[in-house]
Structure 1
Amino acid sequence: MCSSDKSQSNLQQEKAILKREKAEALEKIISLGSEVRVLKDRLQRAQTEAEHKQKENSVLQLKSQQMEEQLEKCKKMLEELKSKLELQKDGYERQLMLVQTEIEKKIILLQSEVTNTNIQYLIRFRLLDEEVLQKLEMGLITVEQVQASLAQYIGKPTAIAGVYVESSKKKISFLEAAEKGFLAKTYAVEFLEAQAATGTLTDLTTGQTHSVTEALERGIIDKSLKDKLLEAEKAISGYIHKGKQLSVFQAMEERVLDRYKGKRILEVQVATGGLTNPEIGVRVPVGLAVEQGLLNKDTLHSLYDPVSNPKGFHNPDTGQKAYYSEILKTCLYDIDSGVFLFPFGERHITSTSPVSSHRVSVVNSSCGTEMSAYEAFKGKHIDRKTYLFLSQQESNWQEKSTVDQSGTQLHVITDVKSGRQLCLESALSQRFLESSELENYRGGLLSIYEIVDIIFSRMVVVEDVNSPIAGFWDTTQKKRLSILQGFQQGFTDRATALRLLEAQACTGGICIPSSGEKVSLSEALRRGLLDETLNQQLQQFEQAFNGIIHPKTAKTLSVPQAVQENLFPKEAGFRCIEFQLLTGGLINPDTHDRVSLEEVIQSGLVDKVTAAILKDEKFQTKSLTCPKTKRRITFREALERSVYDCHTGLRLLEAAKIHGYGAKSTFHYVWAYK
């Protein structure tokens, strides 16, 4: 083939290729054109949608702007309305205060029956000061302050109004209680006479008090009691003699009133807030009553003397004779009717117990709620005055300063009644008390009862399962006693006291049941928890806790090791081992950790014979006398009979006296129980 033919052939091939490429390019152009049209359509639709949404947003913005403008207008209207209401409120409050002030002034005059003559009486009997009246007129003091100063004289006496049935949680009158067989009618009449003698014959349905005549008209009392109660009511209205209006004491002195009956009335009036001065019809505190001749000191001192003034009331629950003040201390305050009620039932809810930090002191008979005085006060169910009165019935807290071993001054608060004890410095360090609260207490803004209740409300006490018998619980006086006090006051014999103190000394220290502290023998002697003889007898038991030093190796030995090495008396050693095992395990003198008997046996510290003796309860001697039943018991039985003290977490053993039994009369005890 010639070159021209080849060129022509190549040219044709190139044309074919170009033609094919042109066709392909044309297809791509057509395809791209189609895609461009689609994209243009989409873009146009998107633009249309965007314009539509923009229009919608513009409309929404316009509406929002309009709503904001309306809201601003509403706010302005509300502010204007609020200002108008505030002005009206201020005006009404000023008018109300003026009216209230006038009403309160009249109330004071009505409550205390203060006429022009009576004001002179109040001043004369030192119940009201002329200076106070002048300050009130000048606006230097408020009506509330004057009311507060007169409250103790014009307030309702704290007489017992009826019975609280524990099972049903309902209140009933004394007469109804007698009808239902809860108490003898003669007992019920005693309490009604006390009500009449304090001017507080009470209708339990309303809580209101009435005179004898009013009570008869309303059917609150029987007509058969009329004469007896009218006679008792003379303690309020006065005994008319030779044209004079005599008080109870004056009637006794003039022989118008029987002396025994008069003393019983005086005891009731003293217990419920003060003696009544019939001339002005208000109660007078005991101190002022003596000054005013409503009572003399000899009679006052004899009110609680069983010989010159026998107990004139019967405890409705037990039937035992009692003073009115003793029964009042066991009563509840009913917030439903604002009266005091005697609790009747088997729960004994007002009894003080070591297992409960507070007794029930307040109830709401309308719904059956029961609470402590502090709970009621914090819940605003009772006022501060009632809270303090109820607290004083339950406890008697007193503060004293003392110095510890390092010479640091401590402030200790002690409940004289129950034996509980708190250290203010410890309460601060443990965050049970804030510095501001202590300052308020020091400044008189908080009472000693409030500061104690604040601390108790924050304390968390855990039962100490390793506790020995830390002390006694006097079931009669409801009080904690140390072991030595229990012996000195005749609850137990010296041998039992020694054994219990041995158990304390070899398990961590001498226990202070009032505070829960455990101290060394020297400190216990300093604090009066031991006498010199006991201190000497307990030395080796303190060694048992701290460890016995081997004289040759200077190694610290446990009790079993020391007994095996003949470095510790065998009999005393066995007692220490028994005390330690029964309170949680043998004590490692180096760490003071507890070790079980099985671990001790495995370690070889106790031989098999000794281990068998320790395991067998038959070998546990009845070396103690139960302070309650006076029967012989083992240390294990003492622990089983004990209760955990909610105040300290330590174990207490209940104790009671038997007539003729005590430190000076062991012979009588042995004779009675041998």
Structure 2
Amino acid sequence: MVSSYEEANRNLEEELIKIKVSSEIATAEKDKVLEKLQRVKRGKMEIVSNQSSLQNQTITKTNYSTVQTTTVQQKQSQNLIAKNQSQKTEAMAITKKLVSLDGQAGISPSVTSITNTSSYNVKDMSSNASHFASMSKESSLKQSETTTRPFSPKLQGHRGSISIRKLIKTKFLDRETLQKLETGLVTLEEVQSSLVQFIGKPTAIAGIYLESSKKKISFLEAAEKGLLAKTYAIEYMEAQAATGCVIDPLTGQTLSVQAALENGVVGLDLKDKLMDAEKAVTGYVHGSKTLSVFQAMEERIVDRLKGKKIIEAQIATGGLVHPVIGVRVPLNMAVDQGLLNKATLQSLYDPVSNPKGFHKPDSGQKAYYCELLKTCLYDTDGGVYLLPFGEKNLSSFSFSSCHRVSVINSASGMEMSTYQAFKGNHIDKLTYLFLSQQDSEWQEKSTVDVNESPLHVITDLKSGRQLCIETALDLKFLEITELVSYRSGLISVYELADLILSRMVVVPDANSPLAGLWDVTQKRRVTILQGHQQGLIDRLTALRLLEAQACTGGICDPASGEKATVTEALRRGLLDETFARQLQQCEQAYYGIIHPQTAKTLSVAQAIQENLFPKDVGLRCLEFQLLTGGLINPETHDRISLDEAVQSFLVDKAIASFLKDEKSYPKSLTCPKTKRKISFMDALEKGVYDGHTGLRLLETTKVLSVGAKSSFQYLWTYRHI
């Protein structure tokens, strides 16, 4: 009994040992099988890699004939298929063995599932290899066609596609751009975006905006309605064709002259004129060459005056058009490539050699195209530029406001400034910058204050406005984060200026003297000294205006609205040395005259009584103070009425009686507009408050002599060459 139990026990132990050994063997075998499966998987990856490599070779290889390529590809495909079939057979055998081992060792069926999947993938891979072989044959048939068609991406211009290789050939782009495109470092869209100012729609004037009805019409329709002469309308249509395309103002669609004729945008009666104008874009064929407008002028194909008129319009709308590539190019490139010369460029705005060639629709007054563009409104409905027509003078720029209406939506009747349109997402940044540059030209410069502390000032070279960045930060018109964005280039100087201006609240200063002049012709603020230097006012008038400033608080800077002492004004260029010497006494009228014996501060009237101050100068200073808001107490600098001054013994009754008689005020000034003699009181009545500073400005104008050049000429000439 016992022996039977012990024997059974031994048999059980032996069976357990066998099972354990079998399990260990199965596990070891399984590990080997899994290792082989990994090799199969790697083989699959190698096949896929070879497929890709072979496909690339098929597409890019150009130095072998079609027959050689097909033979090599077929051999490679056969080798791949054979290798694939071998690996497939091996995988199937491994799979069977693994299943058998799994059954012996009692392993979960999940491994079998994985193995079957691998086997299935190998099968798919084999099928793909067969498909690739047939694909290789098909691609090899196209090999000759592929080898003759190099990588040549194209950009989309307003007149059709533009080959990048052609842009490189004409040195508009460098070869590095093409290499970046080939390697994928940049996309075609990115290149297109970077060149939009040269290949996009030109900023030609599309039509007229009727201020009364807030509707837009084409030039030809306006001529039919009798709003402008037909000849004026043709001028503008020719300018459209000569700057790139005919523009439908209602839709904003840009068309070639032929397309415009076919679509009925223009009539057949204008076909010859517009076709001839369009040659300024497509080029003038002369023998085997295609000539630019300037080159055609030199060959006497185009009349010189007509050619200059076209060149001026092209430059105003974005740049000179290169006839070979059909895009606008920078002026320095145009000069370098002989599309234009410096002499022609510098005489574009000379009224003698190049008279103004366009007419304003409302007045018929002649103007350059760039001058007309500055008065245009941008219509967001269609993205077109329109000339305003009416009595509202919507787009007129004046010193009484910081921004003019420059953007409209003719569909809704909305009217807004450029910055308002930009912040409201009605226009993109490129349009915002273009419109801003029509009104202003902001530049930053560094200077120091009286205490030698650094200051950063942005100045509008067109209007004469100035903004101090440090002052804007102190007054919370500008945030530190916005300044950081400006310094890092995220926002432009135009945006920085508009940010500050939009937050400034300007209140007219009722006590302001005439702080400066407003040049009506140039539409800019000038100091009294600049006005005298530029011949806008005579020296005596300038002296009297400066005397009024000195005795009422300081010499005014109309650009910033700041006031300075005579010494500081001399340092800042607001005065010359002669004016500075003449104004010393007037400055004492504000700060008071120190009695040499008692050291007491005297008013002007008191100093006159003590014979410490010239009577004629003193009476002028009292007149200037009284007319600008009241006499000034030299100790407190407060304004007081004439009666209060008499009661305070700052003025005696005799002087008070003289000051009350307005008819006694001398007419020692010359009106800068009428050239008639006027008094200081008359000049104040003519003055208008500046919307930028709140100070008074006196309007002035100067008729340009024959042959004078506008500053716009030099702006283009020396900035771009």
TM-score (norm 2): 0.74
1:287 and 1:659, CA in 2 relative to 1: closer, same or farther beyond 3 A? closer
Contact 1:112 1:282 in 2 (8 A): no
How far, CA to CA, are the matches of 1:119 and 1:635 in structure 2? 66
Q: Give yes or no for contact 2:665–2:679 (8 Å, CA) kept in 1.
A: yes
Corresponding position of 1:636: 681
Measure how far apart 1:401 and its partner are.
Answer: 1.6
Partner of 1:40: none
Q: For 2:359, which of 308, 314, 329 is the aligned residue?
A: 314
Q: Distance in 1 between matches of 2:412 and 2:506?
A: 31
Map of 1:226-625 to 2, 5 A cutoff? 226-625=271-670
Q: SS at the partner of 1:473?
A: strand
Query: Which consecutive residues of structure 1, in runs of 5 or more, have no partner in the other structure?
Result: 1-104, 661-674
Give the match for residue 147 of structure 1: 192
2:297 partner amino acid: M
- 529 and 345 in structure 1: CA distance in 2 versus 1, 3 angstrom threshold: same
Instruction: Return the offset for 1:443.
Output: 1.7
Residues 373 and 387, structure 1, Cα contact 8 Å, conserved in 2: yes
Q: Tell me whether 1:221 sits opposite 2:259 in the alignment.
A: no
Q: Residue 258 of structure 1: CA displacement?
A: 1.9
Answer yes or no: is the 8 Å Cα contact 1:621–1:634 preserved in 2: yes
For the 8 Å contact 2:158–2:254, the answer to whether it is kept is: no
Q: Does the 8 Å CA contact 1:463/1:650 hold for their aligned counterparts? A: yes
Deviation of 1:585 after TM superposition, in Å, equals: 1.1
Q: Deviations over 1:132-173 (max 9, x none)?
A: 233334333344421212212220011011111222221111
How far 1:262 sits from its partner (Å)? 1.6
What is the distance in 2 between the residues matched to 1:232 and 1:214?
Answer: 15
Letter in 2 for 1:425: E
Q: Shift of the alpha carbon at 1:331?
A: 1.1
- 2:159–2:245: 8 Å Cα contact kept in structure 1? no
Q: Which residue in the other structure is 2:126 paired with?
A: none
What is the correspondence of 1:182-201 to structure 2 with a 5 Å cutoff?
182-201=227-246
Q: What do residues 210-249 of structure 1 show as CA deviations (whole Å, max 9, x unaligned)?
A: 1222222332223222111111011122222214332222
Conserved 8 A contact 2:605-2:652: no
Aligned partners of 1:110, 1:414: CA distance in 2, in Å? 36
Partner residue in 2 for 1:627: 672
Shift in alpha-carbon separation, 1:119–1:494, aligned structure 2, 3 A: closer
> Do 2:245 and 2:257's aligned partners in 1 also have CA atoms closer than 8 Å?
no
Q: Give the aligned residue type for 1:151.
A: V
Distance 1:626 1:111, change over 3 A: closer
1:301 and 1:538 map into 2 onto residues whose CA distance is 42
Q: What's the counterpart of residue 24 of structure 2?
A: none
2: distance between equivalents of 1:659 and 1:132?
Answer: 47
Tell me, which stretches of 5 or more residues in structure 2 are unaligned? 1-151, 706-721
Contact 1:470 1:513 in 2 (8 A): yes
CA offset digits 1:297-348 (Å, max 9, x no partner):
2222222233332222122233222221121111111111111111122222
The code of the aligned residue for 1:299 comes to T
Moved more, 542-551 or 268-277: 268-277
Once residues 185 and 268 of structure 2 are traced to their aligned partners in structure 1, the CA distance between those partners, rounded to angstroms, is 51
Query: Matches of 2:550 and 2:154 in 1, distance apart?
Result: 65
Distance in 2 (CA, whole Å) between partners of 1:629 and 1:253 is: 46
Q: Offset of 1:109 from its aligned partner?
A: 5.2
Judge conservation of contact 1:377–1:383 (CA < 8 Å) in 2. yes
Q: Contact 1:625–1:633 (CA<8 Å) still a contact in 2? A: yes
Q: Which amino acid in 2 is paired with 1:295?
A: L
Deviations, residues 80-139 of structure 1 (Å, cap 9, x unaligned):
xxxxxxxxxxxxxxxxxxxxxxxxx99845768557xx3321111233333223333433
1:276 and 1:323 mapped to 2: Cα distance?
A: 18
> Per the alignment, in what secondary structure is the counterpart of residue 195 of structure 2?
helix
Distance 2:291 2:374 in 1: 30
The aligned counterpart of 2:127 is none
CA contact (8 A) 1:550 1:557 kept: yes
Q: Which amino acid aligns with 1:448?
A: V
Matched residues in 1 for 2:559 and 2:643: separation?
35
Root-mean-square deviation (Å): 2.0
Measured at CA, do residues 434 and 647 of structure 1 come closer, stay the same or move farther in structure 2, by a change above 3 Å? same
Matches within 5 A, 1:165-184: 165-184=210-229
For residues 460 and 375 of structure 2, the distance between their equivalents in structure 1, rounded to whole angstroms, comes to 17
Q: 1:158 aligns with which of 182, 185, 203?
A: 203
* Contact 2:157/2:200 (8 A) holds in 1: no
Distance in 1 (CA, whole Å) between partners of 2:266 and 2:452 is: 64
- 2: CA distance between counterparts of 1:147 and 1:544? 65
Matches of 2:592 and 2:156 in 1, distance apart? Answer: 76
- Count of residues in correspondence between the two structures: 555
Aligned twin of 1:121 = 166
| Alpha carbons of structure 1 residues 533 and 282: separation in structure 2 relative to 1, 3 Å | closer
- Give 1:595 shift: 0.9
Distance 1:600 1:246 in 2: 79
Helix, strand or coil for the counterpart of 2:540?
helix
Give the stretch that moved more between structures: 588-597 or 401-410.
401-410
Q: Is the 8 A contact 1:505 1:541 kept in 2?
A: yes
Please, which moves more after superposition, 187-196 or 133-142? 133-142
SS state at 1:224 partner: helix
- 2-structure distance, mates of 1:145, 1:542: 61
Q: In 2, Cα distance between the equivalents of 1:624 and 1:212? A: 58
Q: Is the 2:156–2:192 contact (alpha carbons within 8 Å) kept by the matching residues of 1?
A: no
Match for residue 130 of structure 1 among 168, 172, 175:
175
Deviation at 1:447, TM superposition (A): 0.9
Contact 1:315 / 1:327 at 8 angstroms: preserved in 2?
yes
The amino acid across from 2:674 in the alignment is T
Normalised by the size of structure 1, how large is the TM-score?
Answer: 0.79
Q: Over residues 366-422 of structure 1, what are the superposed CA-to-partner deviations in whole Å (9 max), with x where a residue is unaligned?
A: 122111111110000000000000011101111212222222222211111111111
What do residues 494-523 of structure 1 show as CA deviations (whole Å, max 9, x unaligned)? Answer: 111111111100000000111111001111
Distance 2:661 2:180 in 1: 82
Deviation at 1:540, TM superposition (A): 0.8
Task: Pick closer, same or farther for the CA change 1:350–1:425 going to 2, 3 Å.
Answer: same
